[in-house]
Amino acid sequence: MDILDKIKAYKLEDVAARKAELPLSDIEARAAQAPAPRGFADRLTEAAREGYGLIAEIKKASPSKGLIRADFDPPALARAYEEGGAACLSVLTDGPSFQGADEYLVQAREASSLPVLRKDFLYDPWQVAESRALGADCILIIMASVSDAQARELEDAATRWGMDALIEVHDRAELDRAAGLNSKMIGINNRNLQTFETSLDVTRMLAKHVPVDRMIVAESGLSTPADLAEIARYGARSFLIGESLMRHEDVTAATRAILANPLTAPGGA
């Protein structure tokens, strides 16, 4: 049993417990009262046209790295990322593996004007309604952990709630499955969630197979402006970055630094 299987097992139990407490109709009523969605894909696309589109991640810890940031203040981090030029935020809400919390998403979103991705492991449309109830503007669909039918169901629910979905893939088979969905954003995860092995070669190899009408978001293991410039040559102009920014004391400065001097978009922009 690898880490992704373990996460899935406890997540399904957790969802069952949450559902027992708050049936679908109740969570849907909460979602209906949440602040209106901020257009996540639109904001990212716009930023990527002018430079790079950065999804900056609020991440306290991870199963592969342990504690990443001791001084962890989600609202302050959200403001720092916004000031540094991030287009969107990503907030880990999974507790057991990432020391995240639903509250962190609520706090980060309230502290900034940026659209927010709920970074968690989703299997059930109930969780999509829950994400919206928390204020999320976008959900993550991890192809390595769901069936095609589940992915479709999650995507449909996101669309119904006015949210976007980031479809995460790690190999060619997952990418081909993702191409059968409607979402525009394809996240290429450089980290294998089964082994934690991280290599930018994943983006280098998969980028050319992404359908031209989709936007590539290169995810994980990115830490320098040179990484971004190099990966941009493969057609990715949007990036999801957590750890390397979280490890800097001055998050605003680190965000500005990694976004400086973007490689000019093909065709100019």
Ligand X SMILES: O=P(O)(O)OC[C@@H](O)[C@@H](O)c1c[nH]c2ccccc12
220 counts as binding ligand X under rule CB under 6 A: yes
Residue 205, amino acid:
M
Does residue 83 have an active-site annotation? no
Q: How far is the CB of 33 from ligand X (least distance, A)?
A: 28
168 counts as binding ligand X under rule CB under 6 A: yes
Contact 99, 132 (CB under 8 A): no
Distances in Å between the Cα of 18 and the Cα atoms of 27, 104, 118, 138, 222 are: 10, 18, 17, 21, 35
Distance, in Å, from the CA atom of 74 to the CA atom of 51, rounded to the nearest integer, reads: 26
133 counts as binding ligand X under rule CB under 6 A: no
Contact 161, 130 (CB under 8 A): no
Does residue 184 have an active-site annotation? no
Q: Which residue has the tokens 């400065």?
A: 253
* Window of 34-42, 101-109, 178-186, 242-250 that interacts with ligand X by CB under 6 A: 242-250
Does residue 119 have an active-site annotation? yes
Does residue 13 have an active-site annotation? no
Report the residue closest to ligand X, judged by CB.
Answer: 242
Q: Which of residues 84-123 bind ligand X (CB under 6 A)?
A: 119
10 Å CB burial of residue 216 (0-12, 13-18, 19+) is buried
57 counts as binding ligand X under rule CB under 6 A: yes
Of the pair 137, 219, the CB lying nearest ligand X is at 219
Structure tokens at 40: 């996540």
CA 169 from centroid of its chain's CA atoms: 12
240 counts as binding ligand X under rule CB under 6 A: yes
Q: Which of 88, 221, 231, 258 binds ligand X (CB under 6 A)?
A: 221
Does residue 189 have an active-site annotation? yes
Q: Which of 51, 74, 242, 262 binds ligand X (CB under 6 A)?
A: 242
Does residue 244 have an active-site annotation? no
Distance, in Å, from the CA atom of 232 to the CA atom of 252, rounded to the nearest integer, reads: 22
Catalytic site positions: 57, 59, 119, 168, 189, 219-220
Binding site for ligand X (CB under 6 A): 57, 59, 119, 142, 168, 189, 219-222, 240-244
